[in-house]
Amino acid sequence: MEKKTKTVKLWMIASILLSVIFIIIILYLTIEPGDIQLLKETDIKYEFFGVAILLNFVYWGIWGKRLQILSNAAEKNVNITWWESTKIVFANLFLAGITPSMAGGEPVRIYLLNKDGMSIGSATASVLGERLLDAIFILICVPFAFLIFKNRIDNYLLNIGLTIGIAIFLVAILLFLYAIKKPEKVKRFLIWLSKKFSRFSKKREKESKIILKISNEIDNFHSSMNVFLKDNKSAFIKGEFLTVIMWLSGWLIPSCILLGLGLDHYLLPAMAAQVFLIIIIMMPTTPGASGISESGVAILYSVIITGENSYLLGVFTVIFRFITYHIGIIVGAIFQYRIFKSVASFSMDRIKKSK
């Protein structure tokens, strides 16, 4: 447990440190000594930054509502309230913000849903159902984003990164759908994997219990996903509708920041850039995609903030990352501390012991 706590702390330090380092580099590259006076003369409209922060909380609130709908549909004898599911979303922000691909947030949400009375399988189905809804919407948006950005993207590395990201995205969706379609094959694979690992463990007597648990939870997961895709399609449709509203509200944040800096909102290009940024962030790279995200924001929005306004690119990157990333880390740390009594105390062991 102590080792895992240290790991979380290292992730936290690495993610924040990388973010700060890359922000400093971007500011150094985008602001020249002569631009300082221009920054002082810039007509900053702070109310738009306030709207951007509010939109971030709206985004989290809608996320909470979506999680509530999926959870209550997955297990009908459980009644998760909107505030409870929103607190779960808040608590997941911390680990999601310091782990690659935001993967650390899923175990937190699964554990807290289980704590509220759901089975691990149903909780897993609800959380992975969210990922599926996100993937469907983002993949639909990708062609439109390319159409908007087709004459703007001339960065070779960015093109390579986006291509790899989209490929990984497609493979993940196909594997996910395969797990839904062929649960028995997935179950056999996981049981085989469990037996392999048990050979290196001194606790072989627990092998049968682990195998039984894997079997039961995959059955729960499969039946719960069938609730979404077959028996209760209305919940899935509602979830997709909320997914659209959720992402669109989040994608308005950069336009608000641009308006706050006295620039045009560039609504569609700013939203298209967000589609590509999500794909970049989803790639398993640095903790919380720190450094990668800052670089991605700077490169993507350099095609929007151009010419005599280019000195504002670094400032935009700082404000955007503070609102969408650093505030999330702070809010997540507060709620995780209130729930787990320690910012770094959560581990996967809680899931294993929770049932």
Domain spans, the chain: 2-353
**For 17-21, 62-66, 79-83, 151-155, which range has the lowest pLDDT when averaged over its residues?**
151-155
- Give the pLDDT confidence of 90-99 residue by residue, as tens digits: 999 988 888 8
**Separation between Cα atoms, residue 84 and residue 116, nearest integer Å:** 9
The per-residue pLDDT for range 152-195, each reduced to its tens digit, is 666 566 666 666 766 766 776 676 667 667 767 766 776 676 66
Residue among 233, 324, 319 nearest 39 (CA): 319
Band the pLDDT of 248: cuts 50, 70, 90.
very high
User: How far apart are the C-alpha atoms of 355 and 352, rounded to whole Å?
Assistant: 7
* pLDDT computed for residue 53 by the predictor: 97
Look at residue 339 in the predicted model and tell me its pLDDT. 79
Choose the most confident range, by mean pLDDT, from 58-62, 195-199, 345-349: 58-62
Percent of residues, the chain, with pLDDT higher than 90: 32
Residue 118: is it exposed, middle or buried by C-beta count within 10 angstroms (0-12/13-18/19+)?
Answer: buried
Distance set, CA 38 to CA 29, 72, 232 (Å): 16, 53, 57
Asked which of 112-126, 189-203, 333-347 is least confident by mean pLDDT, the reply is 189-203
Is the per-residue pLDDT at 72 higher than 50? yes
Cβ burial of 34 (10 Å; 0-12, 13-18, 19+) is exposed
